Amino acid sequence: MANQGFSIRGNGILGFIFLVLVLIGMFFIAKGIFTLLLWASPFLIIGALIINYKTILNYLKFILSLLQRNVLSGIVAIIFSVIGFPILAGVLFGKALFDRKIRRLQQAHAHQESSEYVDYEEVIKPERSQRNDGLDLPPLEKPQVEKKDNRYEKLF
């Protein structure tokens, strides 16, 4: 019982080498995605401006308000925005698409709410005699509840 457990003997170096190879592979995948976004970022920003220009304006207003409230955090946000511009362009493009979808759904909902008549389906209730015609049910028997012997009741 004392030797129960899972242990790997002699494979410590192999696990370490495998971990290093996985991390190197993840680095090259991330580098490729970042390079792809770097080349696509001008098109993504232009697309975000075309789809919904207010998204980019709201981001710039956010950066300016951050500069006014706390100068150091505003400068750090600007530096991160410049360094991570490809990622920021992708995020702003996605947000512009999402905002457009939300706006269209709100317009469709407002149009549906503002319509003069509400779509409904009239439900006709069948008469009571018609509902019971097809059912042959036996009479309902109520179960009898047996009272348990209660010595407390005998005290009074």
Percent composition of the chain: helix, strand, coil (DSSP 3-state, to 5)? 70, 0, 30
**What pLDDT score does 82 carry?**
94
Average pLDDT, rounded, for the chain:
85
Three-class SS state of 29: helix
In tens, the pLDDT along 45-69 reads 999 999 999 999 999 999 999 999 9
Task: Inform me whether the pLDDT recorded for 96 exceeds 60.
Answer: yes
Report yes or no on whether pTM surpasses 0.85.
no
Instruction: Residue 17: name the closest of 29, 6, 5, 25 by CA.
Output: 25
**CA 143 to chain centroid:** 51
- % of the chain exceeding 90 in pLDDT: 58
Length of the chain: 156
pLDDT of 33 over the 80 cut: yes
- Name residue 4's amino acid: Q
User: For residue 4, what pLDDT band results from cuts at 50, 70 and 90?
Assistant: low
Q: Provide the pLDDT for residue 156.
A: 65
Taking CA atoms, 82 is separated from 14, 50, 79, in Å, by: 40, 22, 5
- Residue 139 to residue 55: CA distance in whole angstroms: 69
Among the listed residues 8, 92, 4, 107, the one whose alpha carbon sits nearest the alpha carbon of residue 51: 92
Q: What is the mean pLDDT of residues 89-116?
A: 89
User: Does residue 132 register a pLDDT over 60?
Assistant: no
